[in-house]
Amino acid sequence: MIPQSVLVDLVSASYDPIRPDTFEPILFSGDAVACLKQIDDTLTISIPGTENLANVMTDIDIERFDHPVLGSLHAGFWRPIQGMGEALLPKLKEAKKISIAGHSEGAARAALLAAWCYLNGIQVDQLSLYACPRPGFLKLSIILQSHVENALSFHNGIDPVPSVPLFPYNDPLPKIRLGMAPGGLDDIDPVAWHSMNLYRLGVTQWEQTK
């Protein structure tokens, strides 16, 4: 498996401005971005979140889409996944191993892309979620935990994003808690704990203790 420190660095690098020397094809579907990089025998797919955290919180409008297999999903997170999956399909079919990772809204889409792969008979070997909001109900969580062997989800401190939407939306995976504080007065600001850089530092520190 690809080390978490490598994956979280790739997700951090997928934020605008994206460095074309870091990634191979960069695919867009609606407002979603997927950045690809081949590492040895593994195709990595990195999905950034929105550039504006306020947009993430307003995206939690609980508009629901009832999927016949995956159960109830957050419609806003699900909307670009079909187009993204179809654009990625040739690469996914060629890949020996697949690793999908994302931060914030991108983590929710990473989870749903893994679920789309399940629907299409494509094995995802690794799923890494950083600050992931809840993209669906319990049925989605059961499918992800049953069909992705190496799946991890990280929640930093008092970051509010992984706790929304509220029940009956469900955490896609059990959470690994990080404690990478922003420092100073920002320690009392929940939104400050959502920083991609704090997740990058926290996940790297977590990995060093394993």
Preceding peptide of 160 cis, ω within 30°: no
Three-class secondary structure of residue 64 per DSSP: strand
Mean pLDDT by 10 residues, the chain (210 residues): 96 88 86 93 94 52 87 92 94 96 96 98 98 96 96 98 93 98 95 96 94
> Alpha-carbon distance 22 to 43, whole Å?
14
Residue 58 has what pLDDT?
43
pTM exceeds 0.85 for this model: yes
4-208, what's its fold?
Rossmann fold (3.40.50)
> CA dihedral in degrees (95, 72, 142, 152; nearest 10)?
60
Enumerate the H helices of the chain as residue ranges.
Answer: 4-13, 53-59, 75-78, 81-94, 105-119, 138-147, 196-208
User: What's the pLDDT score for residue 65?
Assistant: 92
Residue 128: φ, ψ to 5°: -130, 120
| Phi, psi dihedral angles at 25 (to 5 degrees) | -60, 140
**What pLDDT is recorded for position 210?**
77
**Where do the domains of the chain lie?**
4-208
Q: Which two tokens stand for residue 71?
A: 């159960």
d(CA 176, CA 158): 13
The pair of structure tokens assigned to 202 is 């926290």
pLDDT of residue 61: 55
Distance from C-alpha of 141 to C-alpha of 106, rounded to nearest angstrom: 17
